[in-house]
Structure 1
């Protein structure tokens, strides 16, 4: 028994000694066992470090436009698996969020300059003038995106030609021609209301987003205050002496439309995604700006939309397109990933992607290196002699006024403001922001 115990004890000591030596050898050796484990971890770490995530902010709000941009981003990520793009669409909060980021000098790697490539974002964007796509920049956009020194401030995803989008099926049904003057526009709205027994909304807004009402004031301000030779207030607006009582016509007319049942009853709660559904059902007739047709056609292949320039406010006035840059992509000058950010823009500038974005957003391309079959092309040709005017706020208003235009519109239609109070508020904010900018 004692002999068995001694043998067991001796066996245990030897086994423990062997394990200890093996363990010690492994820890002191740079051999395979421990080395391969560390190597795997290092490999994972290196792979993690090589993966880049670019932040992207866009002003896109329309669902069809979002889908177009998301699809393009997905294609880029598939071709470049080491680069992820984290896209954000803040809608009406875009400007306020970007102001905070500008103040902190912590901008997204890629962002939409939405008409302010030089004036607002100029000091934050990288110069893209050495990129190949610049040679294809549409001549109508060169003044917008470049300066005298040759700096190129952003890449144009598309370009705007805004007026009104209308339901062609509805207008044809009631024998209505696209209106050329504001009076004709009001008559068309009244006709649609009466002939449809209130089943069709004559003029629809997704007013839960104040930008929808800002679009109304901004686009109609040009024929009211700029392009009519007898009522051209451009100098006064630029030097700060403008009398804002001359603006009251617009809130008066918008309120008149509401009181006469020409606007959607749920205007202040309506969401932008509802627009495609209502167009597809022939439940609305007119909306502001240009509506991409893709989302509407998916719901109703028989749907037909048209676009028209802004009607003249006064008899004898001329119609105008409102345009310039629509959606863009700029690179933050201090991004940690300049090469990857520029690589994404190079991808966007490929002819097949230029075509895809233009067709997906139903707007003319920003580059001339691709032929895009834009749904509204025939309408742009029909009105080819109509002049394109820049967005009113981008030329004549200080930064921050877009929110004021939209916000006062919401207050007007909620009964919190009169048309005169809207104009007064506009004047006060115009003066304050001019001084603070």
Structure 2
């Protein structure tokens, strides 16, 4: 990795993943491969698929280590569910909460081949972890998956390595109270030019338009609406995937727009020092109108701070007329089993327990993510599913594109923190010289990571 000067602040590692809700499918294949039918979960299992735990299996006295990304209230909810599992099965579950060190800790444990019995794959069940995971294709809960989930977690050969109880959706969060006060109808925003006009109205009303932290998602989560998707300013997906992307179109579109928004005062002046709690407190209090590249869990947190606030979820916008608006999709909460675990039966029963509709519903309610097991969707009255369904109804005539997160689809592994550093660089210096420095930094690290991926 190229080193940054001491002037830069460390990037905030915001886990904003993306997913679609029940029944939504992508309307175009990924640029990297031709369209193909998803393998049915009822298809013949792969040779290495593991059988379900035998009915009535006694796991009392067993001990499981379960590693999770949950923190705060979400961790409390998960621990409560774990306590009930322990009481029912007589099995001890040690929950490992690694917080912001989760990814690095898992990488270290992968290198040592000493992984937890069960661990969350945080969006990387196939691309990073599958060689360490048990194939769970023939587990009883697989037939309960909504079709939208299979497009995210099912490998080319039909293998499924995780129980995914929820999906993520990623787009634009809107405080409608702020928009109403500024005379902005958010449902009329379809392009980034429309968005810029809306921001100017919000700013004129005395409120900061864009309520975000400097984080990787600002340069990644909606980048495809500028440089990848059908009908956008540029379609550079092929170059991104073959290592020849020179980032000039990226500069001419996303970076130029962001620099303009910075110069226009659409962001908070102290954006480089903000933390997650600052974001939710300000968004809840109506001190910002739009939160870009994020998921409904932010709005759910805001409602705990201000129950009277009003929010909606919208896609990320198109870069020009005729382009597609975008909702990112991806893994929500997904649990895999280490292939070398000594406690396979207990681990399988734990996943079966987490797949129960009432259990999955309670966890999804705590995270604000969208249920993707059909039996859970039938009883889900959670906030995430509600705002997603509302978006689909209100935006029924919009040309919306559903695909995996842009960086996971088109960037080499390791680019996420690079985008975070680049975001800090741009806010520190949005001038033409600063923009050139951002592009040089992105290009060098992209090339290094692309070559490393080829060698690996």
* Corresponding residue of 1:290: 295
Which of 376, 381, 395 pairs up with 1:383? 395
Moved more, 325-334 or 355-364: 355-364
1:180 has 2:180 as partner: no
Cα deviations by residue, 1:366-425 (Å, 9 ceiling, x for unpaired): 211122113213224333562212111111111101111112112222349812221222
1:204 has 2:224 as partner: no
1:146 has 2:148 as partner: no
Aligned residues of 1:54 and 1:110 also touching (Cα < 8 A): yes
* Corresponding residue of 1:40: none
Change (3 A) 1:232 1:368: same
Which of 149, 157, 161 pairs up with 2:165? 157
Aligned residues of 1:154 and 1:329 also touching (Cα < 8 A): yes
Higher relative contact order (CA 8 A, sep 6+): 2
Structure 2 residue ranges without an equivalent (≥5):
1-59
Q: Does the residue aligned with 1:329 lie in a helix, a strand or coil? A: strand
Moved more, 405-414 or 106-115: 106-115
Moved more, 141-150 or 129-138: 141-150
* Corresponding residue of 1:114: 122
Aligned residues of 1:76 and 1:347 also touching (Cα < 8 A): yes
1:136 has 2:144 as partner: yes
Which of 359, 373, 388 pairs up with 2:381? 373
How many Å apart are 1:244 and its aligned residue? 1.1
CA–CA distance in 2 between the matches of 1:368 and 1:81? 29
Q: Does the residue aligned with 2:325 lie in a helix, a strand or coil? A: coil
CA–CA distance in 1 between the matches of 2:66 and 2:357? 24
Aligned residues of 2:65 and 2:93 also touching (Cα < 8 A): yes
* Corresponding residue of 2:447: 431
CA–CA distance in 2 between the matches of 1:188 and 1:182? 10
Moved more, 413-422 or 312-321: 413-422
CA–CA distance in 2 between the matches of 1:66 and 1:204? 26
How many Å apart are 1:234 and its aligned residue? 1.4
**Where in structure 2 are the equivalents of 1:273-352 lying within 5 Å?**
273-288=277-292, 289-292=294-297, 293-352=299-358
Change (3 A) 1:137 1:274: same
Which TM-score applies when normalising by structure 2? 0.76
How many Å apart are 1:312 and its aligned residue? 0.5
* Corresponding residue of 1:242: 245
* Corresponding residue of 2:105: 97
Change (3 A) 1:429 1:222: same
Which TM-score applies when normalising by structure 1? 0.80
* Corresponding residue of 1:29: none
CA–CA distance in 2 between the matches of 1:70 and 1:206? 29
CA–CA distance in 2 between the matches of 1:256 and 1:328? 38
RMSD across aligned C-alpha pairs, in angstroms?
2.4
Aligned residues of 1:163 and 1:309 also touching (Cα < 8 A): yes
Structure 1 residue ranges without an equivalent (≥5):
1-48, 208-212
Which of 220, 223, 226 pairs up with 1:221? 223
Change (3 A) 1:170 1:71: farther
How many Å apart are 1:271 and its aligned residue? 1.5
Select the structure of larger CA radius of gyration: 1
Change (3 A) 1:184 1:366: same
CA–CA distance in 2 between the matches of 1:217 and 1:66? 29
* Corresponding residue of 1:52: 63
Change (3 A) 1:290 1:144: closer
How many Å apart are 1:295 and its aligned residue? 2.9
